[in-house]
């Protein structure tokens, strides 16, 4: 019984030793997520509640971060704004993975005409900035956070598919795949049951990094007024609101920008740590 | 008896340690070597015995952060001045590298910069060390190319490494090394990566060039046939130490160290009766730990009790031409 | 080398053709009646809708519609903006110069900053300097370009008054002054990725055998790093820079909005907001061509730097 106890704290200690930054990042991110989840409870005001008598006020005991141009409490809007900012990237990356992983698997495994076609299409899509494609597509299909997420997710598919594909191609050369084929397993079975688990590490790292990008893109879309619509709050939208009043009350802009930055930094640090952890050159003790 | 040529390079008590994740690797342990002017010294041994590390130390080509080096490397420059390479500053080292002592490496394809024209790679040594202008350096390079046997030299100047075959690439490396007329050429298995027929051609070129320039050569190889063909003297290394030293003739005629004897036995001969190839049983020892006794003891057919506990000391013949590190050998 | 360029030009034409088909069909994909969307969504009579359908050949087979549209593009008739009733081409040409300048300046700043950072952090790998640079790049990578823009605007323009707060000047030279802050924000966004990429490319190039040869030749450290190593590391660096420049074309919309610059980026955002399809189509076409040209330039530069690419 003593032995298992020691193991757990040992693992934690080694995690701290090797990945200090990432541990801090995870804790910070966890805190942010917690605050956002609890926002209905802990937000001092209703984020949509307008109080035109107290517009554009600076920091005060009543409003810790002041109010915006419509008298809404900035702190509350900041807290609730996290919903779309945190869920959004998850959905975007989720869509990207849901379609990108199978595409990459098939593409990499078959390596024939289908692979060529898929890769060509991916290349064409990838050579254009996602932002741009999202802008144009949103103009066609309408704005709103739901469309934004779906469209962005769609445009992340090629990145993920490409990455999975190159991983699959490497795996295909391994001896165990040949062994599977010799035993007579079918291609889909090999792909899902054997090759896919070996790609997990790259997928996780890439997915983490994509979440950072997705957050940037969602915020950008909201900043342009194409993502989240009034009266909902979103960090990107708050940044846009903040820009308009930046001369009189910079708190809104600065605080929403900073929270976006901190979240992305945490995500990226975690991604880098995961990348270093899965690096085959790292000596595993 | 004719006066023997001067020893232009002497390595005294060289030890090289690499720092690794779980301790130190004692790659080279108390090695003593020398080479005479105009002569060829061969260094043989299996992979990991420390021959490359030893020779790279001559030009101090280690990764300084991970390596600890002790010992003396005494070199007599063209000017006659004797210097200790182990004590030199980077600037002084750079003045010797490629200039007084040159080195060629095993795999010419990866040893040449793929994005730089081959002519430029040779000319830059000339520009740096002999202070030649660009056009002069180019002309000299084309001359060098012709000398090492590269045809259409003027056109080839502007080509890139991937446009040459393996043998040609190695000739380019040789041209690069000989550009400034070094007094010593260090060759780290330059023919190992080449086809056998090309090997013979390259070795022939090296021999001819040596005759023309009078330079000394230190030639690392694990191929005893090459040693017999090319080298005047031979050093045998095992587990980071020198275990035997002799002239080529003496070594092949009467090897003293059990390891050398076993090595010679493994060479398959044409017209051999037996069906099975000779091997040396066992593996070389790990260099991470201190070795007590003789390093070769576990694999030695002549191993005695004291070999396991007492490290053999070096025995040198009366005229200094032979050396062996063994309890059993008789000099 | 010439053959390589021709091959690339050909594939560019193919991609352009495919992209134009997509752009053309996008409008047709919008939910609802195409004629109604073209009419602008107000109250329209049947006659107006019929007139629109005739004008835009909406009753003809799709292929014909595409042909008409393409012919118009090549002849210089890019349609008219619904909102501003000006020819699309005129709108674009009057504003594209500004965007060009913005992106070029941003790109130059990006390279000027990321190149030395990448080299220094590679040379000083593992030291304090390397870690500091790594931290800086992590932070910059997480910063939305428009946030940097706003901070710059707040600090340098508003508080310190060193630069104009928004807008653009007259003529190219004055624009260097006006566009400095926006191009700084756009350029810094690309620094992180580039510097990291250059660093790892330099480190891996430095560990190769040919660098050992270069050292054995007695070349100076400066020559080894800045010529032999860098020349090998520069190809992936250029490729990423090209991608970054292409993505700048995306983020230019946001920066132009932030700093109230009337380039094609802000034009695009406005057009998207107002469903002004001809403008959206026109700008998209322009950006597609620009992206393809950037990719071509990157490929040609890479082929110049690395001779092995030319034979592929």
What ipTM does the predicted assembly reach? 0.88
- What does the buried/exposed string (b/e) look like for A142-157 if buried means 16 or more CB atoms within 10 Å of the residue's CB? ebebebbbbbbbbbbb
Contact yes or no for C217 and B98 at CB 8 A: yes
Distance CA C245, CA C109 (A): 12
- What does the buried/exposed string (b/e) look like for B313-323 if buried means 16 or more CB atoms within 10 Å of the residue's CB? eeeeeeeeebb
Contacts of C306 in chain B (CB under 8 A): 114-115
Residue C116 reports pLDDT greater than 80: yes
Instruction: Determine the residue among C217, C308, C310 to mutate to test chain B binding: the one whose Cβ has the most chain B Cβ atoms within 10 Å.
Output: C217
- pLDDT tens readout for residues C141-162: 888 888 888 888 878 877 777 7
Domain boundaries, chain C: 2-75, 88-306
Distance CA C248, CA C85 (A): 29
Residue B72 sits at the vertex; the CA angle it makes with B68 and B77, to the nearest 5 degrees, is 125
Task: Give the H/E segment covering residue B245.
Answer: strand B241-247
Instruction: Determine the residue among B105, B113, B121, B161 to mutate to test chain C binding: the one whose Cβ has the most chain C Cβ atoms within 10 Å.
Output: B113
Name residue, tokens 């004692």.
B26
Contact yes or no for C215 and B97 at CB 8 A: yes
pLDDT band at C311 (very low <50, low <70, confident <90, very high): low
Which runs of consecutive H residues, i.e. helices, occur in A38-174?
39-42, 74-110, 113-126, 130-141, 145-172
CB B21 within 8 A of CB B59: no
Determine the topology of domain A88-231+255-278 in CATH: MetI-like fold (1.10.3720)
Contact yes or no for A239 and C19 at CB 8 A: no
The CA distance from A228 to the nearest CA of chain C, in Å, is 14
Residue B53, classed as helix, strand or coil, is: helix
Contacts of B189 in chain C (CB under 8 A): none
Residue A29 touches partner C, C-beta closer than 8 Å: no
Residue B4 reports pLDDT greater than 80: no
Q: How many CB atoms lie within 10 A of CB B225?
A: 10
Distance CA C226, CA A148 (A): 45
* pLDDT of the residue at A5: 57
Residue A226 touches partner C, C-beta closer than 8 Å: yes
Distance CA C298, CA C286 (A): 18
Residue A195 touches partner C, C-beta closer than 8 Å: no
Contacts of B97 in chain C (CB under 8 A): 215-218
Contact yes or no for A257 and C142 at CB 8 A: no
* pLDDT of the residue at B113: 93
Q: Dihedrals φ, ψ of C53, to 5°?
A: -60, -40
The CA distance from C210 to the nearest CA of chain B, in Å, is 4
CB A104 within 8 A of CB A160: yes
- pLDDT tens readout for residues B22-42: 778 888 999 999 999 999 999
Contacts of C29 in chain A (CB under 8 A): 140
The CA distance from C88 to the nearest CA of chain A, in Å, is 16
Residue A141 touches partner C, C-beta closer than 8 Å: yes
Comparing CA positions, the residue from A25, B139, B292 lying closest to residue C135 is A25
Select the CATH number that applies to the domain covering C88-306 from these four: 3.30.300.250, 1.10.3720.10, 3.20.20.70, 3.30.70.20.
1.10.3720.10
Q: How many CB atoms lie within 10 A of CB A189?
A: 11
Contact yes or no for A246 and C150 at CB 8 A: yes
Residues found in chain C? 312
Contact yes or no for C154 and A242 at CB 8 A: no
Q: How many CB atoms lie within 10 A of CB C257?
A: 22
Residue C12 reports pLDDT greater than 90: no
- pLDDT tens readout for residues B281-329: 888 888 888 888 888 888 888 888 888 888 888 888 888 788 999 888 7
Residue B21 sits at the vertex; the CA angle it makes with B18 and B22, to the nearest 5 degrees, is 90
State whether CATH 3.40.50.300 applies to domain B7-100+180-325. yes
pLDDT band at C41 (very low <50, low <70, confident <90, very high): low
Contact yes or no for C250 and A131 at CB 8 A: yes
Q: How many CB atoms lie within 10 A of CB C273?
A: 15
Contacts of C213 in chain B (CB under 8 A): 103, 105, 111-113, 173, 176
Mean pLDDT of all residues in B198-222: 91
* pLDDT of the residue at B2: 57
Residue C167 touches partner A, C-beta closer than 8 Å: no
Which runs of consecutive H residues, i.e. helices, occur in B106-257?
108-111, 118-129, 134-147, 153-156, 166-178, 196-213, 224-230, 248-253
The CA distance from C211 to the nearest CA of chain B, in Å, is 8
Distance CA A202, CA A170 (A): 12
Contacts of B59 in chain C (CB under 8 A): 215-216
Residue A244 touches partner C, C-beta closer than 8 Å: no
- pLDDT tens readout for residues C70-104: 887 777 777 777 677 778 888 888 888 888 888 99
Residue A284 reports pLDDT greater than 60: no
**Neighbouring-strand partners of residue B44:** B221, B236
Residue B64 sits at the vertex; the CA angle it makes with B59 and B65, to the nearest 5 degrees, is 170
Residue C266 touches partner A, C-beta closer than 8 Å: no
* pLDDT of the residue at A285: 45
Q: What six digits make up the tokens of C125? A: 């790998």
* pLDDT of the residue at B10: 92
Residue C188 reports pLDDT greater than 70: yes
Residue C139 touches partner A, C-beta closer than 8 Å: yes
Contacts of C151 in chain A (CB under 8 A): 254, 257
* pLDDT of the residue at C67: 80
Mean pLDDT of all residues in A127-131: 74
CA-based nearest residue in chain B for residue C217: B98
Residue C231 touches partner B, C-beta closer than 8 Å: yes
Name residue, tokens 């779309």.
A84
Instruction: Determine the residue among C218, C233, C305 to mutate to test chain B binding: the one whose Cβ has the most chain B Cβ atoms within 10 Å.
Output: C218
Percent of chain A as helix, strand, coil, to the nearest 5? 75, 0, 25
B305 to A100, B298, B331: CA distances (angstroms) = 67, 11, 20
CA-based nearest residue in chain C for residue A123: C15
Residues found in chain A? 285
Comparing CA positions, the residue from C232, C237, C235 lying closest to residue C214 is C232
B215 to B186, C99, C240: CA distances (angstroms) = 10, 64, 48
Nearest to C209 among B110, B115, B160 (CB): B110
- Scan residues 79-108 of C and list those with Cβ closer than 8 Å to A: none
Subunits next to C (3 or more Cβ pairs <8 Å) are: A, B
Instruction: Determine the residue among C211, C213, C214, C235 to mutate to test chain B binding: the one whose Cβ has the most chain B Cβ atoms within 10 Å.
Output: C213
Mean pLDDT of all residues in A257-270: 89
CA-based nearest residue in chain C for residue B121: C214
Residue B218 reports pLDDT greater than 90: yes
Residue B47 reports pLDDT greater than 90: no
Contacts of A269 in chain C (CB under 8 A): 138
Q: What global pTM score does this model have? A: 0.81
Name residue, tokens 């917690």.
A34
Contact yes or no for B94 and C209 at CB 8 A: no
Contact yes or no for B61 and C215 at CB 8 A: yes
CB C151 within 8 A of CB C144: no
Domain boundaries, chain A: 88-231+255-278
* pLDDT of the residue at A183: 87
Name residue, tokens 């400034």.
B180
Nearest to B105 among C213, C218, C221 (CB): C213
Contact yes or no for C219 and B102 at CB 8 A: no
Helices A130-141, A196-223: inter-axial angle, 10-degree rounding = 70
Mean pLDDT of chain C: 82
- pLDDT tens readout for residues B61-119: 987 778 888 999 999 998 889 999 989 999 999 999 999 999 999 989 899 999 999 99
Instruction: Mention every residue, 6+ apart, whose C-beta is less than 8 A from residue A1.
Output: none
pLDDT band at C37 (very low <50, low <70, confident <90, very high): low
Contact yes or no for B97 and C218 at CB 8 A: yes
Subunits next to B (3 or more Cβ pairs <8 Å) are: C
Contact yes or no for C217 and B113 at CB 8 A: no
Residue B325, classed as helix, strand or coil, is: strand
Q: What six digits make up the tokens of C144? A: 């939305």
Contacts of C218 in chain B (CB under 8 A): 93-99, 125, 128-129
**Neighbouring-strand partners of residue B242:** B237
Domain ranges in chain B with CATH number 3.40.50.300: 7-100+180-325
């Amino acid at each position: 019984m003593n032995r298992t106890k020691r193991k757990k704290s040992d693992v934690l200690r080694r995690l701290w030793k090797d990945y200090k930054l990432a541990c801090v990042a995870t804790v910070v991110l966890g805190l942010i997520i917690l605050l956002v989840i609890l926002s209905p409870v802990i937000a001092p005001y209703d984020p949509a509640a307008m109080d035109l008598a107290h517009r554009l006020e600076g920091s005060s005991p009543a409003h810790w971060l002041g109010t915006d141009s419509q008298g809404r409490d900035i702190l509350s809007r900041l807290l609730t704004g996290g919903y779309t900012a945190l869920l959004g990237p998850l959905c975007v990356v989720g869509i990207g993975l849901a379609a990108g992983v199978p595409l990459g698997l098939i593409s990499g495994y078959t390596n024939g005409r289908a692979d060529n076609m898929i890769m060509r299409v991916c290349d064409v899509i990838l050579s254009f900035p996602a932002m741009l494609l999202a802008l144009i597509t949103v103009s066609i299909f309408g704005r709103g956070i739901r469309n934004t997420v779906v469209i962005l997710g769609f445009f992340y598919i090629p990145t993920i598919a490409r990455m999975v594909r190159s991983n699959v191609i490497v795996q295909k050369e391994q001896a165990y795949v040949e062994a599977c084929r010799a035993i007579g397993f079918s291609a889909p079975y090999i792909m899902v049951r054997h090759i896919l688990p070996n790609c997990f590490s790259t997928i996780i790292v890439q997915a983490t990094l994509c979440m950072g990008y997705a957050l940037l893109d969602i915020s950008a879309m909201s900043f342009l007024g194409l993502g989240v619509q009034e009266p909902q709050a979103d960090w990107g939208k708050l940044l846009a609101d903040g820009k308009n009043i930046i001369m009189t009350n910079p708190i809104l802009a600065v605080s929403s920008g900073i929270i976006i930055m901190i979240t992305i930094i945490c995500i990226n640090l975690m991604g880098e740590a995961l990348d270093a952890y899965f690096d085959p050159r790292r000596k595993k003790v | 008896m004719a006066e023997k040529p001067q020893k232009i390079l002497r390595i005294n008590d060289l030890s090289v340690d690499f720092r690794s994740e779980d301790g130190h690797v004692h790659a080279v342990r108390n090695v003593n070597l020398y080479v005479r002017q105009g002569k060829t010294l061969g260094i043989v041994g299996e992979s990991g015995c420390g021959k490359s590390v030893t020779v790279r130390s001559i030009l101090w080509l280690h990764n300084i952060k991970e390596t600890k080096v002790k010992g003396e490397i005494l070199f007599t420059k063209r000017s006659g001045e004797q210097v200790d390479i182990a004590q030199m500053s980077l600037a002084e080292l750079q003045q010797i590298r490629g200039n007084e002592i040159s080195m060629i490496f095993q795999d010419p394809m990866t040893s040449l910069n793929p994005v730089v024209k081959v002519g430029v790679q040779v000319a830059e040594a000339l520009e740096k060390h002999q202070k030649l202008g660009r056009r002069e350096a180019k002309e000299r390079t084309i001359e060098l190319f012709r000398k090492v046997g590269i045809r259409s030299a003027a056109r080839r100047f502007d080509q890139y490494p991937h446009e040459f075959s393996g043998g040609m690439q190695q000739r380019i490396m040789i041209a690069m090394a000989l550009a400034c007329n070094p007094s010593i050429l260090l060759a780290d298995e330059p023919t190992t990566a080449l086809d056998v027929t090309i090997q013979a051609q390259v070795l022939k070129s090296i021999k001819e060039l040596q005759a023309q320039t009078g330079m000394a050569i230190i030639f690392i190889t694990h191929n005893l046939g090459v040693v017999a063909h090319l080298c005047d003297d031979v050093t045998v290394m095992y587990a980071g130490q020198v275990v035997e030293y002799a002239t080529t003739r003496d070594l092949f005629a009467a090897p003293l160290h059990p390891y050398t004897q076993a090595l010679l036995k493994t060479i398959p001969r044409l017209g051999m009766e037996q069906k099975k190839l000779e091997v040396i049983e066992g593996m070389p020892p790990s260099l991470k730990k201190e070795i007590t006794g003789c390093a070769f003891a576990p694999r030695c057919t002549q191993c005695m009790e004291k070999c396991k506990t007492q490290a053999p000391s070096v025995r040198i013949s009366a005229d200094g031409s032979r050396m062996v590190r063994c309890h059993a050998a008789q000099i | 080398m010439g053959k390589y360029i021709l091959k690339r030009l050909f594939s560019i034409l193919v991609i352009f053709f495919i992209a134009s088909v997509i752009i053309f069909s996008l409008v047709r994909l919008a939910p609802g009646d195409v004629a109604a969307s073209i009419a602008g969504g107000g109250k329209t009579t049947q006659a107006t809708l019929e007139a629109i359908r005739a004008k835009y050949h909406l009753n003809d087979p799709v292929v014909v519609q595409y042909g008409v549209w393409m012919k118009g593009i090549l002849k210089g008739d890019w349609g008219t903006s619904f909102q501003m009733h000006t020819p699309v081409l005129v709108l674009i040409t009057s504003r594209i110069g500004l965007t060009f300048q913005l992106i070029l300046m941003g790109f130059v700043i990006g390279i000027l900053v990321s190149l030395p950072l990448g080299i220094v952090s590679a040379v000083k790998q593992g030291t304090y300097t390397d870690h500091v640079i790594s931290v800086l790049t992590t932070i910059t990578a997480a910063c939305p370009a428009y946030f940097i823009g706003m901070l710059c605007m707040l600090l340098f323009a508003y508080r310190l008054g060193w630069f104009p707060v928004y807008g653009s000047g007259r003529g190219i030279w004055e624009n260097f002054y006006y566009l400095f802050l926006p191009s700084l924000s756009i350029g810094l966004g690309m620094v992180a990725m580039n510097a990291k990429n250059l660093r790892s490319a330099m480190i891996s190039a430095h560990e190769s055998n040919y660098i050992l040869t270069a050292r054995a030749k007695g070349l100076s450290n400066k020559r080894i790093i800045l010529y032999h190593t860098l020349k090998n590391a520069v190809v992936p660096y250029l490729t990423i820079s090209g991608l970054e420049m292409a993505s700048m074309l995306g983020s230019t919309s946001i920066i132009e909005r932030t700093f109230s610059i009337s380039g094609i980026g802000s034009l695009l955002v406005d057009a998207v907001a107002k469903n002004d399809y001809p403008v959206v189509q026109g700008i998209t076409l322009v950006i597609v061509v620009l992206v393809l040209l950037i990719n071509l330039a990157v490929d040609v530069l890479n082929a110049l730097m690395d001779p092995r690419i030319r034979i592929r």
